[in-house]
Structure 1
Amino acid sequence: MVDFHHEHIAVGGNRHPSAADWDPTSGLLAYGADCNDEGHQGVKALLRGHTDHVNAVKSFPTAQGKARIILSGSADKIVRIWRAQPAAPLEFKSVAALEGHGSSINCLAVFKDTNIIASGSADSTIKIWQLNIQEDGLDVKLLQTIQTNPRFFPLALALHRLPATEGLVLAAAGTKSTVQVYVTSRGDQFLHQATLTGHEGWMRSLAITQEKSLAGSDLLLASASQDKYIRLWRITKTKEKSEPKEGNLLGAFEQSLSNKAHKLEVSQNSYSITFEALLLGHEDWIYTISWCLQDEKLQLLSASADSSVAIWESEESSGVWVCTTRLGEISAQKGSTTATGSAGGFWIGLWSPNGQSVVSLGRTGSWRLWNHDRDQARWIQGIGISGHTKSVADVAWSKDGSYLLSTGSDQTTRLHAAWKHGVKRSWHEMARPQIHGYDLNCIDSIGRTQIISGADEKLLRVFDEPRATADLLDCLCGIKTSTRNDLPVAANIPVLGLSNKAIETAEDEEPHASGDVNGEEAATSPSPAQPSDLEHPPFEDRLARHTLWPEHEKLYGHGYEISAVAASYDGSMVATACRASSLDHAVIRLYTTRDWREVRPSLTAHSLTVTALCFSKDDRYLLSVGRDRQWAVFQRDVAVPESYLLKHSNPKDHSRMVLDACWAPVSAGRVFATAGRDKTVKIWSMEDTKVECMVTITASSPVTAVDISPRLLRDSLVIAVGTETGDIGLHIVKLSDWSIEQKHQLETALQPAKYITKLSWRPSLATVATNGIEDQEPASKDLQIAMASDDSSLRLFSITGLLDN
C-alpha cells in the first residue's frame, strides 16, 4: 500500500489578531495560514476548505473524551466547523459551513458549557448561532442577528456567563472607540445595555474572565486599542444598598467620587460595570490580550506592534496592575517594517492551557515560544514554527540533497534541513539566506555552498554560504562542508539596501542590525559569528537577523522580471530567463560560474515568457518550455563546453501554454516531460534525429508542476503531477512499453488549497550519502518529494510502499 507521510510542513500565520486559538482541552494550537487552518506541535495538519484568507480561529469547548471542534471564519464570508475524527485526532473534517454574513468574518467568540457561537463580520453585524453536538453530526441554528448601532465593523468579541446566573454577557468592539455590551438570560436574545467609553482608537481585542475560580466571582473585561492602552472593567452583581444615615457625610462623599456604573439587567438580577484600571506601557498599537487564571493567580498577556509581549499582574498590596514581564525584541524602529528583523510587531499572543508557556506571532509569519522556568523564575525561549506568509514560488534541493531551499512572494528565501537530536529527526528552518525588497520568483543551488535567485527586479543574485550556517548545519544536521575555512563569517543587510554584505568578524556588524537605540546588542540576538549555542535550530530573532548569506555576484542582462533559473549539475553554468511578450526578451541567457561572464549569443527559440528551465542530469542538454506552447532542447557544444546549441524544438504540440518540464534520470535514456495548461503531461523520448511523444498523462485540471523521480522503480518512471486545483498524483510509467502501470492520488486532506507552483524530488539518498552526510535516513525504500503551493505552504512528503508493489 502506497502511503504519503508529512515529513515537514512550513507555513506562516495570517496577520490577524483573531486568527489563532489554543485549545485548553487538547493543547492543540490552531491558526489561520492563508486559506488553511493549521494545527501546531510542529505543524501536523493543514485543513483545506476556505477559499480566502482565514481571519478568525476558535476552539469550541467540548466535554472530556468528546471529539474536538475548531471554528474558523474567513474573508470568504463563511464560518466553518471542523470536527476531529475519532480514529485520527489530528484529522479534522469540515462538517458544517455557516452562511449568512454579507462580508468578511473578522472575529468569533464561544464560552465553555454553552452551545452559543458569536461571529462578527465586516457587514457590521454580529450573528448568534446555537450549536448542538450529536453523535452522528452537528445541528446549527441561527438565533439572532445584531445590527451594530452606531454602525461599526466588529473586530473583537468576548462571551462569558454572568456570575450566579444562567445569563450571558457579550462584549463587542471594532472600528469605533467604544465597547458595546449585550446581555441575555437563558433562551432569550441578546439586548444592548451598555456602551463603555474611554479609548481613543479602534479596538483590536477583548478578553473576559472570572477574577477568582470561586462561583459568583466578579468578571474582569479587558479591552485593547490602537491608542496603545489597555482598559480593565469590572462586572459585579449589584447588592441592595441601604440609604445613608442622616449626617453620614463620608458616605455621600464616597458616592460622589465613585466611578460611573453601567447597569445591566438580567431577569431578576442586576449587575454593574465599572472602570477598574488603565494599563500603560506599550509604545504602539495593541493587537491582542488574553487572560490566564492559574492557582488563583490572574495574569493578562498583551501583544503589541512595538515588538513586545507583556504580562500584567495586580500587586497584592496595592491592587495596582503592573507589567511584570516583557518578552520580545529591542528595536529602535518600533512598529516599522524593516528587512532586518521582526519590527512590525506581534499580531497575536496566547497562553498555553497550563499557563506555563506563551506564544506570539510576528510580522514574518513565524511563531515564537517562551516557557516559564520555575526554578530560575524566568521565561526561556523555545523552538517555534516558521514559514512563508505568501505564495511559495519555487523550491530546490541542494545538488547533493542535503537541504531544501524555498522562495516566494513574501520576499524571503529559506533553507530547511533535518535536525538530528538523539534518535529523533525533525525538519526546521535553519537559515534565511535572503530577505529582499522584491517578490522572489525562482531559486536553484550552485554546487554545495552557493545559491542563485531571481526576482521582480530584472537581475539575479548569487549568494555564498557563510561559515555560521555551515557550522550550524554540521553540528545539528551532520551536513559537512569541506571548504568551511574559505567561507565568509556571516552577512548583514544595510539600511535601505538590497545587497547582503559579507562580514568577516562579529565586530563588522553594524549596531542597528540587532541593537537598541544606543547600539547595544539585544540579549535575545546573538552575533552570527558567535552563536549562543548549537544545540537547537535558530530562533526567529536569529533567523531574521543573523542567518543572511553574503551576496557574491549580480547577473545583469534581462529587461523584465526574472521568470526561471537553473544551474548545471557540475556547477559551471547558469541558465536564466525573464518575462517576455516579444522575441527580443524571450531569450535564455547563459552565465559561467567561473568568472560570471555571460555567454554570447543568447539562446533563442521562444517568442513569449520562458516558464521553466532544466539541465539534464549529465548537463549535456538544456530543456526550456514557455507560454508560447513550445518546448526546446539545447545541446552542449563538445568543442566549447560553455555553449549550447538548439537541437530540437516543438512549437505547438501542447494546445495551451507549457508551465513546467523536467528530465528523467540518465539511466532511463534521453527522456523528459512537459506539463501544460491543456491538462496534459507529455513524456518524450529523444534520439539524435527525432523526439517522439511516448505517452500522454491527462489530468482533471491544468497541470502547473511536474517532476520525475531520480530513481527508477523496477525499470519504470515515477512521475509526480501537480495541478491548478492543488491535486497531486503519482504515475508509474513502464519504460518497456510506455504504459501507465499505476496511478496514486494524494488524498484531499493532504492537498493544498491552491495551485501547485513546484514539485521537486529529493536526490537519491545513496547519492547524498557519498557527499559527507553521516547517519542518513535508513529507509532506502522511501522516496521524498517537496511541494510548494500558492497557499503559502511548503510540504515535504515521504512516500512508502511504491517499491513493495
Structure 2
Amino acid sequence: MKRSVLRWQRILAISCLILAPYVAYSQGAATPAAVEDWELLLILDGHTNWVDSVEWSPDGSYIASGSYDRTIKIWEAESGDLIHTLYGHTDWVFSVAWSPDSLYIASGSGPMDQTIRIWEAESGTLWQTLPRLSAPVESVAWSPDGSQLVSGSWDGKVRIWDVKHGTLLHTLIGHIGRVYSVAWSPDGSQIASSAEDITIKIWDAGTGDLERTLTGSEVYVYSVAWKPNSSLVAGGGRRIMIWDATSGDLVQTLRDGAFRFTWSPNGLHMASLSGDTVIYIWDVEAGDARPLLIGHTDDVLSLSWSPDGYKLVSGSRDRSVRISGRTRHHPARK
C-alpha cells in the first residue's frame, strides 16, 4: 500500500506540471509542421516498467537507461544491442549518469532503496554503494573532473560526495520539499538544483554555500540544466526559463508545455517533453519548437542528446528506449 501511494504521489507531482493550462504551440501561431527530417533509428526493448532516465555516454559509444523495473541497462548505441543489465537496486531507478570518462555509471533509487550506486560500465559490476540516505534519490550528476557526485533527494537536501572514498563532503540545505534535479556547471565551480519549492538554487561547489536563488516559475521546477560552456542555466516546469547564473537575471522564457528538457551539445537547440508521446525540438534563439513523433505509445519521460548532436535517445512509460536521428542536416548544427 505504501509503495502504491508513493508511486501515485510522484505521478501527481508530474501531472500538476503537465496538466496545468499551457499552450502547446506559440501564442497566436499556426500549428507548426512536424519534424519531417528526423526518423526513428532503433527501438531498444528489454525493460519491464517505465524508463525514467536515459543518458548517452560522453564518448558516444553507449546508452544507459534506468527503469522502474529496478534495473539499469547498458546498450551499444550504434547497434542497439544490450550489453549489460545491472541488478542491485531494490526499488525504482530514478536517475542514471555517466562519469565524464565513460567508465562509470551513477544511479539513484526510490523509496524502498534510497541509495546511490556506482557501477563499472565495462564489466557491469557494482563498484561502490554510497551511505544509504533517509529519502529517495531523484537525481545524480558528476562533477566535470569525475571526482565528485552531487545528488538531490526528496528530503529537500542536495549532497556532494567524494567518489573515490565514498564520503559525504557537503549537505546543502535551503530547498523546501523534494529536490527534483541537480546539475554541475560546465566549469565545475557551481551546482544548480531545482525543487518542489518552485526555485532553482545556485551553490558554490567547493564550499557548499548558497550563492543565489532563481525565481519566476509558478510551478515545481522539475529539471535543471546548464547551457554547454556557458553561465546560463535553464529550468523546466510548466515552461522552460533561462537565467544568467552569474547575475541571477531571467534572460529568456520559452513557451509553455515542457517539464523535462536537454540542451544540444552546442547549446543552440533543446529537446523537451511535456507529458505526452511527443518530443519537441527547439531553436532556442528563435524560441520556436517543432514536434517529433517517433512512435512512443505512452508518455515520454526522459531524453538525452548524443555527444555529436545528431541523435536523441528517449525513454518512456511504454517501457521502450528509442533512438532517433536527423536524416539531413541536424538542427543542432548550423
TM-score (norm 2): 0.57
Q: CA deviation at 1:651?
A: 5.8
In 2, distance between residues paired with 1:688 and 1:652?
Answer: 16
Structure 1 partner of 2:222: 563
Structure 1 partner of 2:190: 450
In 2, distance between residues paired with 1:445 and 1:635?
Answer: 23
Q: CA deviation at 1:626?
A: 2.0
- CA separation of 1:689/1:649 partners in 2, compared to 1, >3 Å: closer, same or farther? farther
Alignment of 1:469-488 (within 5 A): 469=207
Q: Secondary structure at the match of 2:132?
A: coil
Return 5+ residue gaps in structure 2 as ranges. 1-82, 92-109, 119-129
Larger Rg: 1
Q: Which residue of 398, 413, 418 corresponds with 2:158? A: 413
Structure 1 partner of 2:69: none
In 2, distance between residues paired with 1:462 and 1:665?
Answer: 26
In 2, distance between residues paired with 1:604 and 1:689?
Answer: 25
Please give the per-residue CA displacement for 1:42-64, whole angstroms capped at 9, x wherever unaligned: x99xxxxxxxxxxxxxxxxxxxx
Structure 1 partner of 2:107: none
In 2, distance between residues paired with 1:445 and 1:690?
Answer: 27
Alignment of 1:270-349 (within 5 A): none
In 1, distance between residues paired with 2:256 and 2:295?
Answer: 15
Alignment of 1:81-96 (within 5 A): none
- CA separation of 1:460/1:689 partners in 2, compared to 1, >3 Å: closer, same or farther? same
The reply to whether residue 387 of structure 1 matches residue 38 of structure 2 is no
Structure 2 partner of 1:524: none
Which residue identity does 1:675 align to in structure 2? G
Q: Which residue of 270, 277, 281 corresponds with 1:622? A: 270
The reply to whether residue 684 of structure 1 matches residue 320 of structure 2 is no
Assess if the C-alpha contact under 8 Å between 2:315 and 2:321 holds in 1.
yes
In 1, distance between residues paired with 2:180 and 2:310?
Answer: 28
- CA separation of 1:649/1:402 partners in 2, compared to 1, >3 Å: closer, same or farther? farther
In 2, distance between residues paired with 1:445 and 1:434?
Answer: 17
- CA separation of 1:627/1:554 partners in 2, compared to 1, >3 Å: closer, same or farther? same
Alignment of 1:199-210 (within 5 A): none
Please give the per-residue CA displacement for 1:196-245, whole angstroms capped at 9, x wherever unaligned: xxxxxxxxxxxxxxxxxxxxxxxxxxxxxxxxxxxxxxxxxxxxxxxxxx
In 1, distance between residues paired with 2:111 and 2:158?
Answer: 18
In 2, distance between residues paired with 1:401 and 1:569?
Answer: 17
The reply to whether residue 658 of structure 1 matches residue 300 of structure 2 is yes
In 1, distance between residues paired with 2:138 and 2:203?
Answer: 19
Equivalences, count: 221
Q: Which residue of 435, 438, 441 corresponds with 2:180? A: 441
Structure 2 partner of 1:464: 204
Alignment of 1:760-771 (within 5 A): none
In 1, distance between residues paired with 2:286 and 2:262?
Answer: 13
Q: CA deviation at 1:687?
A: 5.1
- CA separation of 1:670/1:690 partners in 2, compared to 1, >3 Å: closer, same or farther? closer
In 2, distance between residues paired with 1:690 and 1:551?
Answer: 38
Structure 1 partner of 2:236: 577
Q: Secondary structure at the match of 2:134?
A: coil
Q: CA deviation at 1:629?
A: 2.4
In 2, distance between residues paired with 1:409 and 1:427?
Answer: 21
Q: CA deviation at 1:433?
A: 2.5
In 2, distance between residues paired with 1:458 and 1:594?
Answer: 19
In 1, distance between residues paired with 2:85 and 2:300?
Answer: 28
TM-score (norm 1): 0.25
Q: CA deviation at 1:617?
A: 2.4
Structure 2 partner of 1:595: 247
Return 5+ residue gaps in structure 1 as ranges. 12-32, 45-384, 420-425, 470-548, 579-585, 637-642, 692-805
Q: CA deviation at 1:574?
A: 1.1
Please give the per-residue CA displacement for 1:536-568, whole angstroms capped at 9, x wherever unaligned: xxxxxxxxxxxxx22111111111111111112
Which residue identity does 1:661 align to in structure 2? L
Alignment of 1:506-585 (within 5 A): 549-578=208-237
Assess if the C-alpha contact under 8 Å between 2:175 and 2:197 holds in 1.
no
Q: CA deviation at 1:631?
A: 1.2
- By relative contact order (CA 8 Å, sep 6+), the higher-ranking structure is 2
Please give the per-residue CA displacement for 1:465-492, whole angstroms capped at 9, x wherever unaligned: 34xx5xxxxxxxxxxxxxxxxxxxxxxx
Q: Secondary structure at the match of 1:431?
A: strand
Assess if the C-alpha contact under 8 Å between 2:138 and 2:179 holds in 1.
yes
Q: In terms of mean alpha carbon deviation, does 646-655 or 437-446 score higher?
A: 646-655
Q: Secondary structure at the match of 1:452?
A: strand
In 2, distance between residues paired with 1:3 and 1:565?
Answer: 29
Which residue identity does 1:452 align to in structure 2? A
Assess if the C-alpha contact under 8 Å between 2:233 and 2:242 holds in 1.
yes
